[in-house]
Amino acid sequence: MFETIQGEGAHTGIPSIFVRLQGCPVGCPWCDTKHTWTLDDALVTTAQAVIAKNEESEHYFDVNENELLALFAAQGYVAKHVVITGGEPCMYDLIPLTELLHNRGYTTQIETSGTFEVRCDPRTYVTVSPKINMKGGMEVLVSALERANEIKHPIAMQKHIDELDILLEKVSSLDGKQVCLQPISQQARATELAVKTCISRNWRLSLQTHKYIGIE
């Protein structure tokens, strides 16, 4: 849990509180948060220990939604946009948390692989970053794509765009949805391909701004 600037997608630049939930069976090989994959009671520690850590660790804390909100206050967080990510956040029923946050004056965003049903407040902005043919063998759900406000797809080569096209054919309508392409690891060829495709299709380019400017 930390406060920073949202670095990706349509909300780039917005001050945000990131809540990273533990557990993910998807198995993306390029994942930069592999320390969030494992669920094990032996790894549970205090909130204070997790918040204070300055390096990656598999340890995590366990609180309910009211306790989480109290932690925001205790940390002095001022951002009013909460990004719920992971791991894979949609392993969990996020309705109680997102309802509470909206009722307390926050906006919420979920970042998900699309491999679980999305259970959240109707006001929540849902970003699906579809993970296709990953090690975990999980399928991207059409229901998750239908719920998405934003479909943000990491690409390195043309085949990744082709895979996205196959998924988008299953969506009833893209009206009101942002489609974003995000070059993997700031690769020059991937960036060039993403820019070219976004222009030709009137899609949106998503850059991992936080990595360019060196913040969390």
Structure tokens at 202: 């009137």
Half-sphere exposure of 48 (CA within 13 A, CB side): 1
17 is in an annotated binding site: no
166 is in an annotated binding site: no
24 is in an annotated binding site: yes
Cα separation, 93 vs 173, whole angstroms? 26
98 is in an annotated binding site: no
161 is in an annotated binding site: no
CB atoms closer than 10 angstroms to residue 113: 26
20 is in an annotated binding site: yes
13 is in an annotated binding site: no
84 is in an annotated binding site: no
85 is in an annotated binding site: yes
Which distant-in-sequence residues (6+ apart) come within 8 Å of 107 by Cβ? 80, 81, 82, 101, 123, 125
180 is in an annotated binding site: no
15 is in an annotated binding site: no
27 is in an annotated binding site: no
86 is in an annotated binding site: no
* CB-based contact 171:140 (threshold 8 Å): no
120 is in an annotated binding site: no
93 is in an annotated binding site: no
Q: 37 pairs with which residues across the strands?
A: none
- Report the run of H or E that residue 188 belongs to, with start and end: helix 188-201
List residues forming the annotated binding site for [4Fe-4S] cluster: 24, 28, 31
List residues forming the annotated binding site: 5-7, 20, 24, 28, 30-33, 85, 87, 129-131
List residues forming the annotated binding site for substrate: 5-7, 20, 85
List residues forming the annotated binding site for S-adenosyl-L-methionine: 30-32, 87, 129-131
List residues forming the annotated binding site for Mg(2+): 33
